[in-house]
């Protein structure tokens, strides 16, 4: 028993001695890796600036810069490992990483999925930085497309981080995919009012509103003869940015309401007729008795 304890202590002391002997190399390796990592940051920035004026796709520029940076970091890791473990060559380290890659792949499956999805998003460009999108109940502007996640800033200034694997596998509404965007609203008037005149007034209003595009032209369509009103829908086009859409919608609806009121049109509201039936006195007396 004592011999086994002595052997364990001996191995422990040998391990401590080996670590102390290796410590200077480990410190140097750490400093080398840190220096290379720090260098990769300005390289990333320099590549973005260099390619921004030469490539039209901002996403491709971002992808090239990111891949270059992480390639430098990976090379720095191999160099640092070679310094810390001089008995290993880079090829041997790559072999070890290759065998461990399967286990790492299973352990970090979601991370790798998000990474690959991020690359596909940057290459295929279903949306780009600056686009306004709707996804999973969130709506806002794409602030950043990272290799792991997409960063969305909502209109009330809340940051939402969405994993790329999730956003790539589901439907995304891109409101700014095109320059123009159509809005609509249902307008109701009374049955005694002239529907053609009301539609013409709304068309004139929309043509006069600043921010409503001339092409495609505004239009109105009769939609329904409802229980309380004749309902027609007005359509108009604006720039696709959310701020423009809301600003113009406010102008259009306020002006339509005021103009129809000035022209004597009624904007009906739901009416319910309730009848109260009084029971005769004899029936009440019969129940009470």
Between residues 91 and 163, the one the model is more confident about: 163
**Confidence (pLDDT) at 284:** 47
Same domain (yes/no): 88, 130: no
User: What's the rounded mean pLDDT across residues 221-238?
Assistant: 94
Residue 218 lies in a domain: yes
Report the SS3 class of residue 164.
Answer: helix
What is the phi-psi region of residue 160: left when phi exceeds 0, alpha when psi lies from -120 to 50, beta otherwise? beta
Q: Are residues 67 and 162 in the same domain?
A: no
Is 288 among the domain residues? no
Q: Judge if 167 and 186 occupy the same domain.
A: no
Mean pLDDT in residue range 110-128: 85
- CB-CB contact of 91 with 85 (8 Å): no
Averaged pLDDT for residues 250-266:
95
Span 16-37, average pLDDT: 80
| Same-domain status, 21 and 99 | yes
Asked if residue 210 belongs to a domain, the reply is yes
In this structure, what token pair is assigned to residue 30?
């750490």
**92 or 38, greater pLDDT:** 38
Q: Which range is least confidently modeled, 95-109, 220-234, 236-250? A: 95-109
Give dist(CA 254, CA 25) in Å, integer: 74
Distance, CA of 126 to CA of 141 (rounded, Å): 14
The whole-number average pLDDT for the span 97-107 is 55
d(CA 39, CA 96): 27
Residues 13 and 103 in one domain: yes
Q: Same domain, yes or no, for 80 and 147?
A: no
Q: Is residue 193 part of a domain?
A: yes
Question: What is the count of structural domains for the chain?
Answer: 3
* Domain boundary pick from 60, 80, 107: 107
Higher pLDDT, 125 or 11: 125
* Residue 270, domain member (yes or no): no
Q: Are 265 and 195 in contact (CB under 8 A)?
A: no
pLDDT of residue 287: 47
In this structure, are 11 and 102 located in the same domain?
yes
Q: Is 239 contained in some domain?
A: yes
Choose the final residue of a domain: 157, 174, 191. Answer: 174
Q: Are residues 20 and 78 in the same domain?
A: yes
Q: What is the CATH number of the domain that holds 12?
A: 1.10.287
Q: What is the pTM of this model?
A: 0.67
- Is residue 15 over pLDDT 70? no
Say whether both 103 and 31 belong to one domain: yes
- The domain that holds 257 is classified in CATH as 3.30.70.100
Asked, for residue 113, whether it belongs to a domain, the answer is: no
The predicted-structure confidence for 145-156, as pLDDT tens digits, reads as follows 887 899 999 999
Instruction: Answer yes or no: is 114 within a domain.
Output: no
Q: What is the pLDDT of residue 271?
A: 74
Which residues are CB-neighbours of 111 under 8 A, at least 6 positions away?
148
Residue 26 CB: number of other CB atoms within 10 A?
A: 14
Give yes or no: residues 21 and 75 share one domain: yes
* Environment class of 20 (CB within 10 Å of its CB; exposed 0-12, middle 13-18, buried 19+): exposed
Highest mean pLDDT among 115-119, 211-215, 283-287: 211-215
pLDDT at 263: 93
Residues 99 and 51 in one domain: yes
Residue 191: is its pLDDT beyond 70?
yes
Last-in-domain residue among 115, 148, 174: 174
Give the domain range for residue 148.
126-174
Share of the chain above pLDDT 70, in %: 80
Q: Is the pLDDT of residue 32 over 70?
A: yes
Joined tokens for residue 260: 């129809």
Does the pLDDT at position 23 exceed 80?
no
Q: Do 6 and 51 fall into the same domain?
A: yes
């Amino acid at each position: 028993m004592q011999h086994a304890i002595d052997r364990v202590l001996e191995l422990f002391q040998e391990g401590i001695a080996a670590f102390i002997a290796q410590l200077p190399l480990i410190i140097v390796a750490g400093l080398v890796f840190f220096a290379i990592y720090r260098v990769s940051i300005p390289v990333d920035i320099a590549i973005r600036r260099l390619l921004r004026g030469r490539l039209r796709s901002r996403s491709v520029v971002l992808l090239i810069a990111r891949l270059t940076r992480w390639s430098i970091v990976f090379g720095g890791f191999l160099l640092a490992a070679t310094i810390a473990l001089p008995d290993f060559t880079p090829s041997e380290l790559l072999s070890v990483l290759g065998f461990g890659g399967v286990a790492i792949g299973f352990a970090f499956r979601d991370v790798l999925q998000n990474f690959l999805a991020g690359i596909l998003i940057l290459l295929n460009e279903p949306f780009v930085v600056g686009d306004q999108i709707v996804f999973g109940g969130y709506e806002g502007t794409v602030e950043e497309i990272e290799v792991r996640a997409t960063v969305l800033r909502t209109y009330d200034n809340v940051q939402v981080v969405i994993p790329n694997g999730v956003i790539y596998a589901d439907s995304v509404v891109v409101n700014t995919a095109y320059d123009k965007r159509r809005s609509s609203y249902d307008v109701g008037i009374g049955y005694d009012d002239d529907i053609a005149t009301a539609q013409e007034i709304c068309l004139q209003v929309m043509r006069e509103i600043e921010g409503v595009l001339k092409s495609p032209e505004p239009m109105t369509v009769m939609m329904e003869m409802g229980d309380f009103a004749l309902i027609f829908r007005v359509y108009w086009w604006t720039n696709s940015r959310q701020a423009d859409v809301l600003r113009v919608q406010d102008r259009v609806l306020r002006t339509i309401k005021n103009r129809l009121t000035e022209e004597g049109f009624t904007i009906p509201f739901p009416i319910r007729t309730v009848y109260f039936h009084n029971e005769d006195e004899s029936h009440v007396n019969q129940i009470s008795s």
